[in-house]
Amino acid sequence: MLSRTAITPLNSGKSLTPRREASPAPDIYGKIETGMAPRMMAMIATNDSLEKSVRDKADVMRLFKRSLEAVRTAFTDAPDTELERMDMLFGEQTTVRRVYLRMLTHMHEHMGQLIGYTRAMGMPAPWLDWREAGKKMVESGQTA
């Protein structure tokens, strides 16, 4: 059974693998999924390599941010004709736009898993609680 200290919030400045029995965040987020079917095997090989080699918290965060920015730029720069282009993904005919939507929902799924995992350990989510910030604003007379 995992203890409350088995995982560390991302903003704590501590290691991502504080205890042997914990699933480290690189194992949870080390798989950066992008690309269409023709590149699938190369992507899998890259993911397997990253999962084993990117272990430092700062490196994980850099890779995560770089990946998010690459997807944001690719989507923003793509013309509608490219987003409506049909292609195959996991054996299913789909549009490029739907692939981006799938990436977004997949990312949210993993974020929800991490939040649940963190809370199951009795810890808060790894960001400031907006309720506390709002309460302080009300107490000090500030408005949004």
Residues of the chain with pLDDT under 70: 1-40, 143-144
Question: Rounded to an integer, what distance in angstroms lies between the CA atom of residue 37 and that of residue 102?
Answer: 14
Q: What is the pLDDT of residue 118?
A: 84
* pLDDT of 64: 83
What pLDDT does 52 receive? 86
Kindly report whether the global pTM for this prediction surpasses the value 0.85. no
* Contact call for residues 12 and 126 (beta carbons, < 8 A): yes
Q: What is the pLDDT of residue 141?
A: 77
Per-residue three-class SS string for the chain: CCCHHHCCCHHHCCCCCCCCCCCCHHHHHCCCCCCCHHHHHHHHHHHHHHHHHCCCHHHHHHHHHHHHHHHHHHHHHCCHHHHCCEEEECCEEEEHHHHHHHHHHHHHHHHHHHHHHHHHCCCCCCCCCHHHHHHHHHHHCCCC
Q: Quick one: pLDDT at residue 75?
A: 92
Q: Supply the pLDDT for residue 79.
A: 95
Map out the domains of the chain as residue ranges: 17-119
